[in-house]
Amino acid sequence: MSKTQYDVLIIGAGPVGCVAALAMKQIGLSTAVLEVQPQQSKISDGRTLALSWNSYLILDELNAWLTDEERFPIRSIQISDRGHFGQSVVSGQDVQLSELGYVVRFKDLLPRLREVLSQQKVKTLFQTSATSIQKYKDYSEITLDMNGVISTVTARLIVMADGGQSLNIAGLKHKKAIDHGHDAIVGIITSDSTP
């Protein structure tokens, strides 16, 4: 088995994992990203994401922000408590911002982040999963399965950004989930005609 050393190993190459990897690279840490899925040239995920103004600032700092055609400004937010009187509307002007944030398509954001990972030469291992994690005082040893090829790497920090799938591998137990009873509707509405 071969063994490679990293400062940071990130499990999951979704938006959170990619942003974490770019931030670690920016401060000079040797970083690798694992993704169990194969590398895809086209993402078909139909989800939309509502990103705060601070998320925009982070992505812009990492040179991973989207074009005008790929982002949709959030200029105001209406807040209400179902079943109770009253509501509040907050606008970007209220907090001295042009926008409160942006709605973006997952299928636009993820390829852009992965493009920047490649440009920054962040090691990204597709079709690779962590099968075990052995923790030591100053580092962890991670066994990888790269499409049937087993290898071992070490990392001082492991970031689990795969939606909780790696908790069992690390020996961590998910205690409980709490439903806070809050909902939000996020989407992109298009029209065939211009008003």
d(CA 105, CA 24) in angstroms, rounded, equals 24
State pTM to two decimals. 0.82
- pLDDT at position 43 is 79
Alpha-helical runs (H) found in the chain: 15-26, 53-61, 106-119
Q: By residue range, what is the domain housing residue 92?
A: 3-160
Tell me whether residue 26 is in a domain.
yes
d(CA 67, CA 149) in angstroms, rounded, equals 39
Enter the DSSP assignment of 46. Answer: -
3 token code pair: 């063994």
- pLDDT at position 163 is 72
Enter the DSSP assignment of 20. Answer: H
From residue 84, alpha-carbon distances to 115, 130, 142 in Å are 46, 48, 51
* CATH, residue 16: 3.50.50.60
Spatial strand order of the sheet with 71-74 comes to 48-52, 101-105, 71-74
From residue 139, alpha-carbon distances to 142, 151, 169, 182 in Å are 10, 17, 16, 39
Tell me whether residue 177 is in a domain.
no
Tell me whether residue 184 is in a domain.
no
| Tally of helices (H runs) and strands (E runs) in the chain | 3, 11
| Single-letter amino acid, residue 77 | I
Tell me whether residue 192 is in a domain.
no
In this structure, are residues 5 and 153 in contact, taking their beta carbons and an 8 Å threshold?
yes
- pLDDT at position 180 is 72
Tell me whether residue 133 is in a domain.
yes
- pLDDT at position 173 is 62
Tell me whether residue 180 is in a domain.
no
- Please count the structural domains in the chain: 1
Nearest in space to 25 (alpha carbons), one of 10, 5, 36, 4: 10
pLDDT by residue for the chain (195 residues), tens only, comes to 457 899 999 999 999 999 999 999 999 999 999 999 888 767 778 889 999 999 999 999 999 999 999 999 999 988 887 778 888 889 989 999 999 999 999 999 999 999 999 999 999 999 999 999 999 999 999 999 999 999 999 999 999 998 766 666 666 665 666 777 767 666 666 667 665
